[in-house]
Structure 1
């Protein structure tokens, strides 16, 4: 999501940003892009992020380097596109799925459900998320999807507690950042299933302290 426009419900309540429509690619360009992303996913599975080089990706995807660079200027762009593919289901469940992740549950329950879903998403794609964040001096703040996540959290916090919702949302996203999860999971060795409810408690405390 590179651009966002705000919208409101009939009751005046702010909703999530909506991505501006992108120009559709030609059929052959779509096929090339899909081939590149499928090859990138397989290359990551085989070699990890360290093995994801533009030369090797062009070879595996059987496309010229010009075609590759027209679609993606660097590894971070490829990582961002792969993450976009992998997060679509979570987006749909957040916006239209059953509660508590989707609409219909109290804000605190939805916030806890979001924290769990987001932690699972980031932890299962940790190297990709770190690659996108490390590619920019501003880290996660420059990630294409970051405004979407932060705005969603802000809306839920407003249901729990009205004051300082934006600041509290930023604090929540800091707790859920890839660098923080890497510290807990890889460096300190916490178990994911044990960590999730503990982080959920921290998130709710930030929202309602």
Structure 2
């Protein structure tokens, strides 16, 4: 039993070290210079540890983004309104987009790396699927006449890291958040 606890503590320490190393390398050098070999060396763990835990760069970027997305996910399920349950779907959708914009603007380099790492399989990425499912559910409640699945993809496409960076450089966070709300509100307008 004691050996099992020690392994879990070591695994947790290694996971934190790998994620911190990946984040540091990403911030300093950009996505193209973040290899699992470099991450393992920077984290002072074996290359096999990184491969077993994360599989590939996409898995590593997904884990980094997931760390940031946990609080958002918890807020959706059980947080206070307007992000959490208890308010009309329109208010929840706008609150979710605000929260997602905040996450994106604070983590634009990570978002870009995640976009690139998961580019070939973006629509089956667990984080994307969770966010899309939430948006689609809210849209379907607010506007049953819409193609909620398509509109959900459309709204999430506005979180493309290059677009986020461009809008932030030409109007800041307020422009990004305001524009997202405007687009979502247009979709939520009167039924066709």
Partner of residue 205, structure 1: 186
1:94 Cα deviation (Å)?
A: 1.3
| 2:140 maps to which of 131, 145, 158 | 158
Q: Distance in 2 between matches of 1:119 and 1:101?
A: 13
- State the shift of 1:149 in Å: 0.6
Q: Alpha-carbon deviations, 1:122-143, whole Å to 9, x = none?
A: 2222222222222345463242
1:108 equivalent in alignment to 2:80: no
- Cα deviation digits, residues 75-125 of structure 1 (max 9, x gap): 332111111111111111111111111111111111111111111112222
- Structure 1 121/137 Cα, relative in aligned 2: closer, same or farther at 3 Å? closer
Assess if the C-alpha contact under 8 Å between 1:185 and 1:191 holds in 2: yes
Match status 1:131 vs 2:113 = yes
Question: 1:133 touches 1:139 (CA, 8 Å); kept in 2?
Answer: no
Residue ranges of structure 2 left out of the alignment (5+ in a row): 1-6
Q: 1:26: Cα distance to partner?
A: 4.6
Q: TM-score, normalization: structure 1?
A: 0.76
Residue 161 of structure 2: aligned partner: 178
Q: Is the 8 A contact 1:119 1:176 kept in 2?
A: yes
How is 1:186-205 mapped onto 2 (pairs within 5 angstroms)? Answer: 186=169, 189-205=170-186
SS of aligned partner of 2:126: coil
Superposition RMSD in Å:
2.4
Indicate the SS of the match to 2:82.
coil
Provide, for residues 148-199 of structure 1, a one-character-per-residue CA deviation record: whole Å limited to 9, x for no partner.
111101111122111222222222222333343234234xx22112331222
Structure 1 residue 27, shift from structure 2 partner: 4.6
Q: In 2 relative to 1, CA 139–124 (structure 1 residues): closer, same or farther, beyond 3 Å?
A: farther
Q: Distance in 1 between matches of 2:174 and 2:187?
A: 21
Map 1:38-53 onto structure 2 (within 5 A).
38-53=20-35
Aligned equivalents of 2:116 and 2:24: distance in 1?
22
> 1:85: which partner in 2?
67
